[in-house]
Amino acid sequence: IKCGPNEHFTSRASPCPATCGSHFFGTPKKCFHLPSAEGCRCKRGFVLDSSNRCVPPKECECLNKLCLDRMPRKKCLKWRARGRCKRYPEVMARFCRLTCGHCETRCGENQFSDKLCKNILRQGKCSKPLYKAVCAATCGRNKCRCPNKRRIESKCSTRYKNRIIKSIRYLPGPHGKCIKSTVVRYEPCGACPSIAKTKLQPCNYCKGVRTGKRIVQYRETHGKHRCLRRVTRVSKKCPCPPSGQLKVVSSSKCVKHTELVRVTKVFKAAEKCTKCKRITRRQVVKKI
């Protein structure tokens, strides 16, 4: 017979092995009438969980929903001070759930049923830290301890170049409940250079219009401190009139002090609309 992790083979395996339920809650065993037989059993210091795996008691699945620390309080505080609660949230939520603020507990109330907590009291287990935490009312733990203040920072937004800062506090309230207070604010992060420029496309001489975009980028000075970019469409008239129309410009000037010449410039769009064709005519108006 091949045994799993944390197990060993024995010729007299108990029909009623130690389980998470019997270890923590004193769940009654109803199999003592069964005979012992050869098979696998958990090594010393391990118990069977609900998945029939041999695990240390602190890793039992039944503790997942309880608001408590599975590791010593001093160790959890030390890890939190080193920033592990933020760097490894999934792992720390399993071992230092209360210290890292991953749950809310009612101060001075039982997390187990009153019947189960009374049974724990009769068995003399109230002096153990685990039962003090989950049976606070029955085991006489009257001092409420709410989770410590937490600060949660989001990642820098790639779009708005800002991050969300949440400050969470827990204050003792009525009926033994910790009241959660959350303050949300924003702070800038990343570069947000000021931009104000216009990009124009080449003139469309058939329509007589040159289109483009006006780009403005800035950061909000209040509120969410977002880095915003506004893009608006702009248009300007081209030197040439639209296709089928002419633009005539006339002027007069004196040439060599002997002639008065009128210069007439005619602008019109070329056939492919990419150029402005200019025709210049000169006419002597008067000789001096």
CATH fold of 7-63: Laminin (2.10.25)
Rounded to whole angstroms, how far apart are CA atoms 259 and 209? 38
pLDDT at 125: 82
**Residue 69 half-sphere exposure toward CB, CA atoms < 13 A:** 21
At 216, is the pLDDT very low, low, confident or very high (cuts 50, 70, 90)? very high
pLDDT at 73: 83
Strand partners, 283: 262
At 180, is the pLDDT very low, low, confident or very high (cuts 50, 70, 90)? confident
Reduced to 3 states (helix: H, G, I; strand: E, B; else coil), residue 286 is strand
pLDDT at 219: 95
Q: Answer whether residue 196 shows pLDDT above 90.
A: yes
Q: Answer whether residue 29 shows pLDDT above 70.
A: no
What are the residue ranges spanned by the domains of the chain?
A: 7-63, 150-188, 195-237, 246-287
Residue 249 in contact with residue 275, Cβ under 8 Å? no
pLDDT > 70: percent of the chain: 85
Q: Where are the beta strands (DSSP E) in the chain?
A: 7-13, 37-42, 47-48, 54-55, 150-153, 162-172, 178-188, 195-200, 209-219, 227-237, 247-255, 259-269, 276-287
- Residues 213-233 as b/e (b if ≥16 CB within 10 A, e otherwise) read eeeeeebeeeeebbbeeeeee
